[in-house]
Amino acid sequence: MLAVASMILVYLAGLTQLGEAEAEPVQSVPALTGDLDAQLADLRDAAPVQADDPEAALAAALDDPELATALIEAEPDPDDGALAAALATLASASGDLDPVEVGAFFDELGAERTAWLSVLYPETIAHLPGAPFEARVDANKVVIEAAVEESTTFDGPGRPWTEGTERPMRAELGQLLDSDREFISLDPYNNSGGGSWIEVLGDLRTASQITVMVPGGSAEMSSDNFNLYYNRAKSFADAADGELAVVVWAGASWPSGWIEESWASWSQVAAERLASFTHDLRAQTGDVPITLAGHSYGGAVIGLAETYDLVADRVLHIASAGMGYDVYQPEALTEPCRPRYSITAPGDPISYVQGMPYVPLLGHGADPDDFPGTLNLATGSLPDGPDAVDDYGVSLAEQGIAGKDVEGVHSHSEVFYPESDAWNNILAVMLGDEPELADSQPDPIAGC
């Protein structure tokens, strides 16, 4: 009975997530009116931080957790002028806006005014699709500062044994203080407090190639995956010597554990948001080629995202759970002829869920390795050099696995070990180069 009840609860949770994915009509982005400098001056005068420029204001907020908290709590008041009213409209839309139109709003506002708003109203700017990435990075620095402070002061019931002691900070947030990690979205309280994020590795302004990497299950800040996917993305960005920027996209609620990960509902919500993000990315970075890569459950997300209007020059499934819920034929995709790659090592346990037959709300569609038009990449072997490490930085030689074939249970992660054949092939796709293909390939798509 307990198992049945648990399955029912998970199913209901899946229905809830599915409801979130039902799109409402996109709201109109407000127009800017009046004397913007005068309106901004009034907002600055009323703010809890006083400084001559936005850089100084940001530095003050990052040096004073209480000030950062006050700024996070600030909300634009529609009665404080047209600019504040426009910001209030953007904030209340909850992402139900065209990010390209939002970007045009901030283009008209100008870089310096936008920089001010990222400090005066960081909670509004930090998670706003379409807001300039530079402003969102700054706003999320304030979010982190305030969230760390809140994690140490959160009120709880008094206990005799807790008097005179301080609550420890959230470790995953504390490590970010004074770090050089850049987030264009960071919500410490999503995923039932586990947190969600979108992080940039490399320089989006100068990179000649961009990859959006969608993590597998348990993509929460409180999980080891928060740092693990940072390591993986950084290994690719560092190897490309500035040519590649990688965006780790975990900007939605995420399943955790094999029961939740078997349901499609989380991917249905995430896929729509991901598709919208790609338009935001293209608008802010120009015509730089974009690779959309998904690992494990993230593969199901990118596959389903391809059923929406999506911006991507190529798609890469990495040990992917599937082509996306109810995606079994190329006709289900908006662009069936888009270049598409897949890499799954022999013996990877993900193969047990790839290509499951259709069941309402269960499974993740066709097996990417067998999907028409897909190019399968060779997995090869791990590096055998003395400095070879895994994706945690631990020596392969010390683990006794240097040079072994990428196969078996651990291959689900081994495809990310730097300088392995699989890793080199993944990097080649990200850079638009020619990867080494596997011996067996699906049939091509007629007409592509």
- Find the CATH number of the domain harbouring 299: 3.40.50.1820
Q: Which helix (H) or strand (E) holds 149?
A: helix 133-153
Say yes or no: 117 and 238 in one domain: no
Strands 196-201 and 244-250, by their bridges, are antiparallel
Question: What residues are paired with 375 via a beta bridge?
Answer: 341
Q: Could you identify the residue written with the tokens 């790609």?
A: 278
243: which residues sit within 8 A by CB, 6+ positions away? Answer: 207, 208, 209, 431
Say yes or no: 150 and 271 in one domain: no
Say yes or no: 348 and 395 in one domain: yes
Q: How many domains is the chain built from?
A: 2
Say yes or no: 75 and 138 in one domain: yes
Say yes or no: 132 and 207 in one domain: no
Question: Among candidates 68, 14, 56, which has minimal Cα distance to 188?
Answer: 68
Question: Among candidates 380, 410, 408, which has minimal Cα distance to 394?
Answer: 410
Instruction: Say if 26 falls within a structural domain.
Output: no
CA torsion angle 267 270 273 278 (round to 10): -80
Instruction: Say if 422 falls within a structural domain.
Output: yes
Angle between helices 65-73 and 133-153 (to 10 degrees): 110
CA distances from 304 to 227, 264, 282, 321 (A): 26, 10, 19, 11
Two structure tokens written together for 334: 């908006």
Instruction: Say if 435 falls within a structural domain.
Output: no
Instruction: Say if 20 falls within a structural domain.
Output: no
Residue 183: φ, ψ to 5°? -120, 130
Which of residues 154, 179, 201 is at a domain's end?
154
Say yes or no: 105 and 213 in one domain: no
Give the Cα separation of 102 and 125 in Å (integer): 11
Say yes or no: 132 and 211 in one domain: no
Say yes or no: 200 and 113 in one domain: no
Say yes or no: 231 and 280 in one domain: yes
Say yes or no: 343 and 388 in one domain: yes
What single-letter DSSP state applies at residue 330?
Answer: G
Say yes or no: 362 and 293 in one domain: yes
pLDDT (tens place) for every residue of the chain, 448 residues total: 434 444 444 444 444 444 444 444 478 899 999 999 999 999 999 999 999 999 999 999 999 999 999 999 999 999 999 999 999 999 998 668 899 999 999 999 999 999 999 999 999 999 999 999 999 999 999 999 999 999 888 666 666 655 555 678 899 999 999 999 999 999 999 999 999 999 999 999 999 999 999 999 999 999 999 999 999 999 999 999 999 999 999 999 999 888 888 888 899 999 999 999 999 999 999 999 999 999 999 999 999 999 999 999 999 999 999 999 999 999 999 999 999 999 999 999 999 999 988 888 888 999 999 999 999 999 999 999 999 999 999 999 999 999 999 999 999 999 999 999 999 999 999 999 999 999 999 999 999 9
Domain limits for position 48: 31-154
Are 293 and 318 in contact by the 8 Å Cβ rule? The answer is yes
Say yes or no: 229 and 141 in one domain: no
User: In sequence order, what DSSP letters do the residues of 274-297 get, joined into one string?
Assistant: HHHHHHHHHHHHTT--EEEEEETH
